[in-house]
Amino acid sequence: MTDCVFCRIVAGQIPATVVHEDEHTLAFMDIGQVNPGHVLVALKAHAESLFALEEAQAAAVFRAAARVARGIRAAFEPQGLSVYQANGKPAGQTVFHFHIHLVPRHDGDGMNLTWPVKNPPREKLEDYAARIRARLGAAPL
């Protein structure tokens, strides 16, 4: 038996409150509920992070996220909605099975993300972009 908590939810071994299910994805209520209506959209197959997704999985999970986000908006009428998706411990990932948080947002709700901009010169941006462009064909991990 796997010790991955999301694989166990997908397998029905751990209960979850499901809001959407399709071939590739399962969306269920986050037990923490940062704000009412907070949903996780997870892949059914085990993939540790964004870096591991096949093209069809990436398309399916974002399609499901958009669909569920529209449902959250219609049901809870939040002032906004944050999409949070972490890859790796330094990024804040705590469950190492790919998932997207959909968090309804309200002014002053206390959810914060610090954003320490560096504002590098244009030449640095060109260098960074060239490095990424050269590797866009990298295979999933």
Our finding on whether 46 is near Zn ion (CB under 5 A) is yes
Question: Within positions 11 to 40, which residues make up the interface with Zn ion, using CB under 5 A?
Answer: none
Cα distance from N-terminal residue to C-terminal residue, the chain: 23
Closer to Zn ion by Cβ: residue 38 or 97:
97
Rounded-to-integer distance, Cα 8 and Cα 137, Å:
32
At closest approach, how far in Å is the CB of 86 from Zn ion? Answer: 15
- Residues with Cβ within 8 Å of 44's Cβ and at least 6 positions away in sequence, in order, are 10, 23, 24, 25, 26
Relative to beta strand 25-29, strand 39-43 is antiparallel
Question: Among residues 65 and 81, whose Cβ is nearest to Zn ion?
Answer: 65
Q: x/- binding map, residues 75-94, to Zn ion, per CB under 5 A?
A: --------------------
Q: Does 7 bind Zn ion (CB under 5 A)?
A: yes
